[in-house]
Amino acid sequence: GSAPPAYRIVDYREMRDINGRDAVPERRVKDEYVSLSFASQRADLVLKTGGLSIAHVAAGRRSKASLVVIYLHGQGGTRIQGVADYTFGGNFNRVQNLVTAAGGLYLSLDLSDFESRGAAEVKALADHYLQASPGARVFLACGSMGGQLCWRLARDGEVVRRMGGMMLLGSMWDDAFTGSAAFRARVPVLFGHGSRDTVFPVERQEAFFRSILKTAPDYPARFVRFETGTHGTPIRMTDWRETLNWMLNN
């Protein structure tokens, strides 16, 4: 089929997309939407390296992985959010199934902050697993404040060399992005945003998206606006399969 447009508005309805899918609204998805077939490949670990102690959950192949996906939580989040099978409509369960079935590795870590230390933690974790998977690229999925680390890592040439894409889910913008190593390397960027996000206004993120395309009209960037969605909607609704396939093909 033909590729979807770079900017899309997706219909989102709380009655259908939360109440119709969840057994306990916003707490537990119905069991039929969850598969735990990969659970034997999932472990709660601590990486000690360079003075850092990085608690993380790893699902999938810890060496010779085909791709590496890292989830960066937002304010008040932990590594558990990114591997929670039953919240957010089971969407974190879907990405774990997708990545493990593709012979990849999915990681979710505890971040100390959203500044230099948090960035060092993501970089060290990525380095550790990418060394064991020389053929893989790393994809960063950044929820809310986690996006601050995405933009920081986008300026790090060492990380960008192995970067396959960035997803900013209900997150912020960075007007310095067009001067970054990631921009020069044409790293694909997906923005997922709820139209009623009160933390980061959708209009501001849309303006930033347009500014990227103004600077480079053929830049691999996509924007998915979830109509009536709120701050957490992109985490519930993002289509991981479509997004990762698009990034892998760019």
CATH number of the domain bearing residue 227: 3.40.50.1820
Whether the pLDDT of residue 1 is over 70: the answer is: no
In a domain, 1, yes or no: no
In a domain, 241, yes or no: yes
Domain that holds residue 30: 7-248
User: What is the mean predicted confidence (pLDDT) over 71-80?
Assistant: 95
Higher pLDDT, 160 or 236: 160
Predicted local confidence at residue 2, as pLDDT: 57
**N- to C-terminal Cα separation, the chain:** 17
User: Cα–Cα–Cα angle for 142, 202, 113, nearest 5°?
Assistant: 30
* Average pLDDT over the chain, rounded to an integer: 93
Q: Of 137, 164, 168, which Cα lies nearest the Cα of 238?
A: 168
Whether the pLDDT of residue 150 is over 80: the answer is: yes
| Residue 29 pLDDT level (bands cut at 50, 70, 90) | confident
In a domain, 2, yes or no: no
Q: Are 102 and 95 in contact (CB under 8 A)?
A: no
What percent of the chain has pLDDT above 90?
79
User: What is the mean predicted confidence (pLDDT) over 148-171?
Assistant: 98
User: Cα–Cα–Cα angle for 224, 229, 231, nearest 5°?
Assistant: 95
Place of tokens 């999915």: 106
In a domain, 178, yes or no: yes
Identify any residues that bridge with 207 across adjacent strands, giving them in sequence order. Answer: none
In a domain, 192, yes or no: yes
Number of domains in the chain: 1
Q: Are 154 and 186 in contact (CB under 8 A)?
A: no
Helix (H) or strand (E) holding 71: strand 68-72
In a domain, 129, yes or no: yes
CA distance 49 to 247: 30
User: What is the mean predicted confidence (pLDDT) over 203-217?
Assistant: 97
Place of tokens 């959708």: 202
Residue 166 half-sphere exposure toward CB, CA atoms < 13 A: 31
Whether the pLDDT of residue 112 is over 80: the answer is: yes
pTM: 0.94
Spatial CB neighbours of 87, under 8 Å, sequence gap ≥ 6:
26, 27, 28, 29, 81
Least confident segment among 11-20, 163-172, 188-197: 11-20
In a domain, 190, yes or no: yes
